[in-house]
Amino acid sequence: MVMDLIFWALAILTVGTALAVVLLRDIFRAALALVACFLVVAGIYITLNADFLAAVQVLIYIGGISVLIVLAIMLTRDVQHGSQANRLRIPALITAGLFFAVITVALTGTTWQISSEAPAIPTTPVLAERLFGSNGFILPVEIAAVLLLAVMLGAIVLMREK
């Protein structure tokens, strides 16, 4: 019962942060809302007992993709003005509405098979063993993190005013 409430709270928060990504005019704040959205999705994975997917969500999307998006934003000039309105706003709204309608019909028209049993073996210890155990992959993960940090610092130095 409690997990159901947490799941629905996280689902509502996911929709809210996704709307913030789309509706915010400041692109940097939209990127931060995207990071929050990725984090909330990782929380949803945890409530669904998908620990491995939650760890991958945090490592790949929050740790990698979000850093690259923020880096691209930092390398872009004139970020404060946001994107200008153009003549494709109405066709984009119509396309998004049609896409939403198709997804809604597909979701409500599908008979979903639901398992009543939780996963037998948690996936987090297996992930920890592969990362931190003998012959683990923690060194490449750490090297990638240091490389992304160096790129972020380089972007800050390049974009700093003289």
Specify the CATH number for the domain of residue 127.
1.20.120.1200
Report if residue 13 sits inside a domain.
yes
CA proximity to 64, closest of 137, 13, 134, 140: 140
Report if residue 21 sits inside a domain.
yes
Range of the domain at 39: 2-80+121-159
Give the pLDDT band (50/70/90) at residue 123. Answer: low
The C-alpha angle 21, 6, 36, rounded to 5 degrees, equals 25
pLDDT at 79: 59
Report if residue 65 sits inside a domain.
yes
- Looking at the structure of the chain, the number of domains it has is 1
Write down the mean pLDDT value for the chain: 83
**Please, what sign has the CA dihedral across residues 91, 96, 101, 102?**
positive
Report if residue 63 sits inside a domain.
yes
Pick the more confident residue, 104 or 77: 104
Give the pLDDT band (50/70/90) at residue 7. Answer: very high
- The pLDDT of residue 118 is above 80: no
pTM summary value:
0.61
